[in-house]
Amino acid sequence: MSPNTPAPTGLAEKAATYRSLTAVDSHSRNRQLRSRILRYCLIGAMIIAVLPLVAIVGQVFINGFGTLSWEFLTQVEMPPRREGGGYLQGIVGTVYMVGIATLVAVPLGILGAVYLVEYGRGILPAIIRFFTDVMTGVPSVFVGLFVYAALVRNFSFSTLMGATGLAIMMLPIIVRSSEEMLRLVPPDQRAASLGLGARKWQTITRIVLPYAAPGLTTGAMLAIARAAGETAVLLLTALGSLRLVTALTGQAQSSITLLIYAGAKQPFEAGKERAWAGALLLLAMVFILTFIARLITARARRG
């Protein structure tokens, strides 16, 4: 002990004023109680957060199941006042537009991710990454307005315009998820391929992309699920249609979401019931896609 620290005086008195750590007084009991109250609050919050999911899925199922039939899938929508009929034109339109959008956005998005991971040097990839993230937050109605102003005005509402809008919505999602997946490919795989004399593009197309394939599929499926549930973009680019449309251009196209939107807003019971059935169909599609995507990721992670 150094000479200028005062000697510990009055230890005995101090000990008398201090309490044992294990003694339970009103203060510590209070603290424990507040902590326990918090615990119950958090459990309550968890229950409240799960309720909407149960309520939405339950309501959609209860109201939609009765109307969802073979007829619903194979017949065109009736006037809202009449019963029967179905969402055939919407199903065809959704499959059509989401399909075309996927064909454009998935290769473009994966190649964009290839650039970010395999070629990107300097500040450009950081800029692209940042604005891709920002672009995932661009309101879908704005994307719709853009496609309307740039293209629809000069041509017409059509399947192709709807697909363009959806592709723009899907692109940033696919770029970012693909980038994640490509980063998970071990550098050794690339080095081995290059070492054996493969060129860079061969390494990417034959080693890197196949290795990342399950993850890339997951990202694409999540983007497809997002696109299938999109309404606002289509309202401004495909517009909606009462008939079955198979033309790519020149004719306004319908979708499941547009039919649900129209069905919910009109006053007749029959039309509303079909909207519930359409919502059930859409929800089933989206959940199955999401579920399969998860399954692929889980399996890829294990194997």
Footprint of other proteins on 144-163 (CB under 8 A): 145-146, 149-150
Under a CB-based contact definition with an 8 Å cutoff, are residues 274 and 79 in contact? no
DSSP string, 187-199: HHHHHHHHHTT--
Give CA–CA dist 108/238, Å, rounded: 22
Q: Give the shortest CB-258-to-other proteins separation in angstroms.
A: 8
Task: Find the binding residues for other proteins in span 1-20 (CB under 8 A).
Answer: none
For position 76 contacting other proteins by CB under 8 A, the verdict is: no
Task: Find the binding residues for other proteins in span 225-254 (CB under 8 A).
Answer: 225-226, 228-232, 235-236, 239
Name the DSSP class of 79: P
> Cβ closer to other proteins: 12 or 219?
219
Q: Give the shortest CB-204-to-other proteins separation in angstroms.
A: 7
> Which tokens is 271 given?
């039309």
| Of 2-10, 65-73, 76-84, 207-215: span binding other proteins (CB under 8 A) | 207-215
Give CA–CA dist 205/202, Å, rounded: 5
Number of residues that bind other proteins (CB under 8 A): 105
For position 32 contacting other proteins by CB under 8 A, the verdict is: yes
- Which of 59, 69, 74, 249 lies at the binding interface for other proteins (CB under 8 A)? 59
| Of 11-19, 71-79, 80-88, 126-134: span binding other proteins (CB under 8 A) | 126-134
Site string for other proteins, 88-117 (x = CB under 8 A): --------------------xx-xx-xxx-
Give CA–CA dist 35/222, Å, rounded: 40
**Residue 94 amino acid letter:** T
- Which of 85, 98, 176, 270 lies at the binding interface for other proteins (CB under 8 A)? 176
For position 56 contacting other proteins by CB under 8 A, the verdict is: yes
Q: Give the shortest CB-50-to-other proteins separation in angstroms.
A: 6
Under a CB-based contact definition with an 8 Å cutoff, are residues 142 and 159 in contact? no
Give CA–CA dist 145/85, Å, rounded: 32
> Cβ closer to other proteins: 92 or 238?
238
Under a CB-based contact definition with an 8 Å cutoff, are residues 184 and 215 in contact? yes
Under a CB-based contact definition with an 8 Å cutoff, are residues 252 and 134 in contact? no
DSSP string, 97-147: HHHHHHHHHHHHHHHHHHIIIII--TTHHHHHHHHHHHHHTS-HHHHHHHH
- Those residues whose C-beta lies under 8 Å from the C-beta of residue 209, and which sit 6 or more positions away, are 110, 114, 216
- Which of 98, 106, 181, 279 lies at the binding interface for other proteins (CB under 8 A)? 279
Q: Give the shortest CB-90-to-other proteins separation in angstroms.
A: 11
- Which of 60, 100, 166, 270 lies at the binding interface for other proteins (CB under 8 A)? 60
| Of 73-81, 82-90, 124-132, 243-251: span binding other proteins (CB under 8 A) | 124-132
